[in-house]
Amino acid sequence: MKKDPKFETEQEEREFWATHDSAEYIDPAKLQLVSFPNLKRSSDENAVVFSLELVQELQKLAKKKKVTWEKLVEQFTRDGLQRSSQQRRKAA
């Protein structure tokens, strides 16, 4: 087991872990399960605001399909983007 590296900056740490295998530094016997109940969503996610009426309609349809309304919106978006892409290719 290698000794834990020390870093001056976060960038230095990023560069180190991009080129090193963490398995050489972590003892599996010392791993512990942890939870982060107050962890906030990543800024990689986006928020979209819908009217209450639209959300209610989405919820009804999602219930029939046995999925969350958020997953339904994601699927609709993915399908719409795919159709749009296909139409652009046909037009080109």
d(CA 26, CA 57): 49
Residue 87 domain flag:
yes
Better pLDDT: 9 or 39: 9
Better pLDDT: 27 or 79: 79
Return the pLDDT at 43. 67
Question: Which uninterrupted H or E stretch holds 27?
Answer: none
Residue 71 neighbours by CB under 8 Å, 6+ apart: 62
Residue 61 domain flag:
yes
Mean pLDDT for the stretch of residues 74-92: 92
Structural domain that includes position 59: 52-91
Residue 9 domain flag:
no
| Planar angle of CA 65, 88, 79, nearest 5 degrees | 10
Residue 72 domain flag:
yes
Is the predicted pLDDT of residue 71 greater than 70, yes or no? yes
pLDDT digits (tens, 9 = 90+) for 13-58: 989 998 888 888 888 888 889 888 888 776 666 778 899 999 999 9
d(CA 87, CA 80): 11
Residue 58 domain flag:
yes
**Are 1 and 27 spatial neighbours (Cβ–Cβ below 8 Å)?**
yes
